[in-house]
Amino acid sequence: MLVRGAFASVFAAATGAALPEVVADKDLDQANTMLGVSRELGSIVGPVLAGLLFAVGGARPALLFDAATFLVTIPRLATLPRRGATLREETLLTSARLGLRTVFSTPIVRGSALGFWLAVLASAGDDRATS
């Protein structure tokens, strides 16, 4: 769960930072709104869907579905068009390293990320205790 929390916080930060790179300035407000709505819908629909999958088939189908969503999302994100010609050409791994280096070298970001990771870890332990 700690690893999932680590990647979730990096993904959330990267999503917000990448949005201006893939959306025109005039569409940025609408894109931010759509991103927020989709995030909130996911936090509502996701647990319901996971519960249904768990009720029907147990933990395995629910976890496989969760993994499949990442497998579908990652290639799609990698192929998003970038706007502007001033962007550096970087590999995904280079960008991830740079992002993690920034997270851990900036005290306020590092503290926020660690706090988020600990909250995710604590809630995972709480989930296990109640099931």
Domain carrying residue 130: 1-23+90-131
Give the pTM: 0.50
Does 16 share its domain with 2? yes
Residues 40 and 17 occupy one common structural domain: no
Q: How many domains does the chain have?
A: 2
Write the CB contacts of 15 (distance below 8 Å, at least 6 apart in sequence).
Answer: 35
Least confident of 3-7, 32-36, 55-59: 3-7
Domain co-membership, 123 together with 107: yes
Mean pLDDT value across residues 79-87: 60
Same domain, residue pair 14 and 36: no
Question: Per-residue confidence at 76, pLDDT binned at 50, 70, 90?
Answer: confident
Q: What is the mean pLDDT of residues 40-45?
A: 85
Nearest partner of 50 among 127, 126, 129, judged by Cα: 127
Residues 10, 56: one domain? no
